[in-house]
Amino acid sequence: MMSMNECLEAIENRRSIRKFKEKEISESDIKILLHAAQMAPSAGNLQAREFIIVSAEEGRKNLARAALNQEFIMEAPIVIVACANMTRSEPRYGARSALYAIQDATASVMNILLAAHSIGLGTCWIGAFDEREVSSLLNLPEHVRPVALVPVGYPDEAPIAPARLGERIEHWEKW
Ligand SMILES: Cc1cc2nc3c(=O)[nH]c(=O)nc-3n(C[C@H](O)[C@H](O)[C@H](O)COP(=O)(O)O)c2cc1C
């Protein structure tokens, strides 16, 4: 059995959770997740990312609908919407900044997922949603793109890990 420190444990055992208990999350736990989001790397440390925390039932229902009716989203007590700020790093990085903004935001998403797991919370990275609808629901300005919805709650299931592709995706030295 491979020995694992806490970081590797979280990487190994975090799963996408699609069934949540009816239990609120404390304000301090939400702060832990937002801090984890802040601590992710970003291009030039410009942090071209923004987070909308949706807790109201109506808001969560609307997001579930915008996410192509993935109804489990509304069962989570909060949904964190990670967004890319498409202009923050543009002056420094020009055309490359669009890609960086997406990476800044998604690096934060991964931190949120792992931090949540480490404090007993479950999450699911939701990428399937109508971008225009989400932007309109959340009043996002033109230069802010939603990149992932992250429902967060106490897990009410313990899925096993879906299989990975393994060595098929490893290319040493060259393709
Ligand atoms: C970019 C991206 C988009 C995803 N979109 C969805 C989604 O819309 N709905 C969903 O239930 N899961 C979604 N997932 C979660 C994946 O289905 C899940 O990560 C994958 O099956 C592996 O399972 P695991 O997270 O438990 O390891 C998404 C994950 C990523 C990274």
- Does a structural domain hold residue 120? yes
Q: Is the CB of 128 under 6 A from ligand 1?
A: yes
- Residue 24 within any structural domain of the chain: no
Residue 101 lies in a domain: yes
Q: Does 147 map to a domain?
A: yes
Element containing residue 79 per DSSP (H, E): strand 78-85
Ligand 1 pocket residue status of 160, Cβ below 6 Å: no
Q: b/e per residue, 99-122, with b = 16+ CB within 10 A?
A: ebbbbbbbbbbbbbbbbbbbeebb
In a domain, 89, yes or no: yes
The pTM score is: 0.97
Identify residue 55 by its one-letter amino acid code.
S
Element counts in the chain: helices (H) and strands (E): 7, 4
Give me the chain's average pLDDT, please. 97
pLDDT at 123: 99
Supply the residue whose CA is at minimum distance from atom 12 of ligand 1.
126
Question: Given pLDDT bands bounded at 50, 70 and 90, which one contains residue 2?
Answer: low
Residue 57 sits in a domain whose CATH number is 3.40.109.10
Residue nearest to atom 25 of ligand 1 (CA): 16
Beta strands in 112-167 (DSSP E): 122-123, 144-153
pLDDT above 70 (res 1): no
**Can you give the residue range of the structural domain that contains 42?**
33-155
What's the mean pLDDT in 148-173?
98
- Residue 115 within any structural domain of the chain: yes
**136, part of any domain:** yes
Residue 23 domain-assigned (yes or no): no
The number of domains in the chain is 1
- Return the residue whose CA atom lies nearest to atom 7 of ligand 1: 126
